[in-house]
């Protein structure tokens, strides 16, 4: 059974035309608007699919979604399934690792960054977890990342253990080997060209 686009209101027509020709909207939204635009110009689903280089079933899906829900039907719907949850032993391993001095785990740096923690957990512990999930687990436990570096003298990045010490009233200490442990600069700072 052929699916055709329903009659458009003037507002819908102008919104679809604007979206179909947009250079700033998300690509998937522009593509969906193009489906509707060409369909509103009298093209059938197979023609639109061929023109846009997509499967005709995809064209039919978006035509149906628009016919049923209007412009709101072009938006992505929430995906089914529940978010990934980790067993308590994995959460405990993530927390314990983040609170352990990396050098005690034979790592060549003095403090954790979220990237270092992700790499260590993935490669050494065999826990397939991404940075954003690590961050969520740590925040859920009330732990935050803190960085402190002074222009007047390099200071250690404050890790979780140090931030806990501070909250317990203990003072932070300056690590004299901070620059060495930190490693090379990322290279984002441009070097100044000397005058002739």
Token pair of 191 as six digits = 């070097």
If you average pLDDT over residues 31-52, what whole number do you get? 92
Structure tokens at 117: 């923690």
* pLDDT tens sequence across 102-160: 999 999 888 888 889 999 998 888 888 888 888 888 887 777 765 544 444 444 444 44
Residue 174: pLDDT band (50, 70, 90) is: low
Instruction: Give residue 138's pLDDT.
Output: 84
Residue 41 has pLDDT above 50, yes or no: yes
Model confidence band, residue 181 (pLDDT cutoffs 50, 70, 90): low
| φ/ψ (deg, to 5) at 11 | -65, -45
* pLDDT the model gives residue 167: 46
CATH 1.10.10 fits 10-74, yes or no: yes
What pLDDT is recorded for position 145? 66
- Residue 172, exposed/middle/buried by CB under 10 A (0-12, 13-18, 19+)? middle
Tally of CB atoms within 10 A around 5: 23
Q: How many residues does the chain have?
A: 196
Q: How far apart are alpha carbons 187 and 150 in whole angstroms?
A: 19
Give per-residue pLDDT as tens, 53-73: 999 999 999 999 999 989 888
Residue 158 and residue 174: Cα distance in Å, rounded? 10
Q: Region 5-26: what's the mean pLDDT?
A: 91
DSSP state of 145: -
pLDDT, position 150: 45
Mean pLDDT of 155-181: 52
21 against 142, higher pLDDT: 21
Round to whole Å and give the CA distance between 163 and 143: 9
Q: What is the pLDDT of residue 196?
A: 55
Among residues of the chain, what percentage have pLDDT more than 90?
31
Query: Residue 13: is its pLDDT beyond 50?
Result: yes
Domain edges within the chain: 10-74, 88-181
High-pLDDT (> 70) share of the chain, %: 68
186 pLDDT higher than 70: no
Spatial distance between the Cα atoms of 104 and 109, rounded to a whole number of angstroms:
10
- CA–CA separation, 122 vs 137, rounded Å? 15
């Amino acid at each position: 059974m052929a699916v055709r686009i329903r009659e458009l209101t003037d507002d819908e027509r102008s919104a679809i035309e604007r979206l179909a020709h947009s250079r700033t909207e998300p690509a998937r939204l522009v593509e969906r608007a193009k489906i509707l635009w060409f369909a509103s110009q009298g093209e059938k689903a197979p023609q639109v699919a061929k023109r846009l280089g997509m499967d005709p079933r995809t064209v039919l899906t978006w035509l149906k979604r628009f016919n049923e829900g209007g412009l709101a039907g072009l938006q992505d719907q929430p995906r089914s399934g529940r978010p990934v949850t980790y067993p308590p032993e994995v959460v405990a391993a993530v927390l314990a690792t983040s609170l352990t001095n990396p050098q005690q785990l034979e790592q060549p740096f003095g403090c954790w960054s979220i990237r270092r923690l992700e790499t260590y957990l993935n490669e050494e512990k065999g826990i397939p977890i991404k940075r954003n999930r690590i961050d969520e687990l740590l925040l859920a436990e009330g732990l935050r990342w803190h960085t402190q570096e002074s222009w007047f003298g390099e200071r250690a990045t404050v890790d979780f253990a140090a931030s806990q010490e501070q909250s317990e009233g203990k003072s932070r200490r300056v690590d004299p080997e901070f620059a060495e442990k930190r490693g090379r600069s990322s290279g984002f700072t441009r070097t100044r060209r000397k005058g002739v």
